[in-house]
Amino acid sequence: MTDTAMTFDVLIVGAGHGGAQAAIALRQRKFAGTIGLLGDEPELPYERPPLSKEYLAGDKPFDRILIRPAAFWVEREVTLLPGHRVASVDSSAHTVTITDGSTIGYRTLIWATGGAPRRLTCAGHDLRGVHSVRTRADVDQIMRELASVERAIVIGGGYIGLEAAAVLTKLGKHVTVLEAAPRVLARVAGAPLSHFYEAEHRAHGVDLRTGVSVESIVGKDGAACGVRLADGTILPGELVIVGIGIIPAVAPLLAAGADGGNGVNVDALCRTSLPDIFAIGDCAAHPNPYADGAIIRLESVQNANDQATTVAKLLTGEETPYDAVPWFWSNQYDLKLQTVGLSIGYDAVVLRGDVATRSFSVTYLKHGHVIALDCVNATRDYVQGRALVMAHAVIDPARLADTAIPLKEMLSV
């Protein structure tokens, strides 16, 4: 160990969902050592999902999206170190170095840094008016500019892009969504769900274009004024939102020698290849039982929280490998999507219910087993379908499609 000014029994780097939950779970489990929760954002730990939903819409103020109020951290004796960015890690000295050159020591390090939004690389990517949606600062800047925006262009038809499109539409903006793949949500959902959301956005007036590639952002006086497509079309827009994924923030750990690439590799107990260093959340490439044990990264609150709990348990004497059922949600317009399981590698899709009623579920099968459900305004299916996913159940597709039979009755047959 070192003689650095500050040393914590547990130092958590990244004060987002995973980092905050790690500190919360440690104290819940009566961990009595010192805890430092360090993050590069200036705020108290806050919830990220509302950034593209209620917070952007102006329906929830910032203090209502805090993970815990300020007093909580004081009472639980968690030392918050906001506004600090770790530049490097020395795993033999058990220290991290902050960008200002100071060092902090640790006995155990939990790396919970999420990811940085992937940026465009084309001409005009750095013009004023081009934004990501990852932090409160991103969204506050978007909100400041909104008053002078008539047309918004969203690049990327994933959940965050589509949620932002729904909010901006509600705020009266003319919205265009540009997706390079042949359908929106192609990376995470089956075709019925993609086509349903495409139709919904169009019905709300969104100019949604799939199979298009962006050539550049067009600017005037240093500010964005549109997007040029590869076919030469120019779409006018003063606000450009880029939602094309994240790059896991693991450079300091990889430089310190940790195994990884697309994220840092961890085992089922969230241990990296470096001694006394764990990684959790969006940045952790882990073996997931719901992906047949494949090494994947998940970008969800569920995954960040449950991995945080796995580490907290281990540090308080309970070794429980991470095996939580993945779940996720997305709110667009009056549609509440809830997903359970992972649809990776599905070979059949069963539609349950009528898409036209705007309440239905899509069930994903692999070799006959139920591996995931996407439920739109269908909370009962979501709740009951979870058991099918956990049981890896084999159910006749005709029964799955029959809404007269509740999903909970299917397991027993």
Contacts with ligand FAD by CB under 6 A lie at 13-19, 38-41, 48-49, 51-52, 85-86, 112-114, 133-134, 160, 249, 252, 281-283, 299-302, 304, 328-330
Judged by phi (left if over 0) then psi (alpha if -120 to 50, else beta), residue 232 lies in left
| Comparison of 13 and 371: residue with beta carbon closer to ligand FAD | 13
Shortest distance in whole angstroms from residue 294 CB to ligand FAD: 19
Shortest distance in whole angstroms from residue 227 CB to ligand FAD: 21
> Cβ neighbours of residue 400 under 8 Å, at least 6 residues apart?
350, 352, 363, 370, 407, 410
Shortest distance in whole angstroms from residue 23 CB to ligand FAD: 11
Asked if 302 contacts 324 with a C-beta cutoff of 8 angstroms, the reply is yes
| Comparison of 115 and 129: residue with beta carbon closer to ligand FAD | 115
Side chain identity at residue 217, one-letter code = I
| Comparison of 283 and 400: residue with beta carbon closer to ligand FAD | 283
Q: What single-letter DSSP state applies at residue 323? A: -
Chain residue at closest Cβ approach to ligand FAD: 16
Shortest distance in whole angstroms from residue 118 CB to ligand FAD: 12
Q: By C-alpha distance, which of 115, 109, 160, 85 is closest to 279?
A: 109
Query: Which secondary structure element, helix H or strand E, spans residue 228, and what is its range?
Result: strand 223-229
Shortest distance in whole angstroms from residue 395 CB to ligand FAD: 26
What span, in angstroms and rounded, lies between the C-alpha atoms of 188 and 376?
15
**Torsions phi, psi of 112, nearest 5?**
-140, 60
What span, in angstroms and rounded, lies between the C-alpha atoms of 13 and 250?
11
| Comparison of 304 and 373: residue with beta carbon closer to ligand FAD | 304
What span, in angstroms and rounded, lies between the C-alpha atoms of 163 and 85?
29
What span, in angstroms and rounded, lies between the C-alpha atoms of 185 and 163?
12
What span, in angstroms and rounded, lies between the C-alpha atoms of 287 and 297?
9
| Comparison of 271 and 408: residue with beta carbon closer to ligand FAD | 271
Other beta carbons less than 10 A from residue 202's beta carbon: 12
What span, in angstroms and rounded, lies between the C-alpha atoms of 73 and 59?
26
Shortest distance in whole angstroms from residue 271 CB to ligand FAD: 16
| Comparison of 85 and 399: residue with beta carbon closer to ligand FAD | 85
Shortest distance in whole angstroms from residue 223 CB to ligand FAD: 23
| Comparison of 111 and 346: residue with beta carbon closer to ligand FAD | 111
Asked if 23 contacts 37 with a C-beta cutoff of 8 angstroms, the reply is yes
What span, in angstroms and rounded, lies between the C-alpha atoms of 321 and 332?
34
| Comparison of 263 and 385: residue with beta carbon closer to ligand FAD | 263
Shortest distance in whole angstroms from residue 249 CB to ligand FAD: 4
Shortest distance in whole angstroms from residue 169 CB to ligand FAD: 16
**What is the full DSSP assignment across 73-102?**
HHHTTEEEEET--EEEEETTTTEEEETTS-
| Comparison of 86 and 178: residue with beta carbon closer to ligand FAD | 86
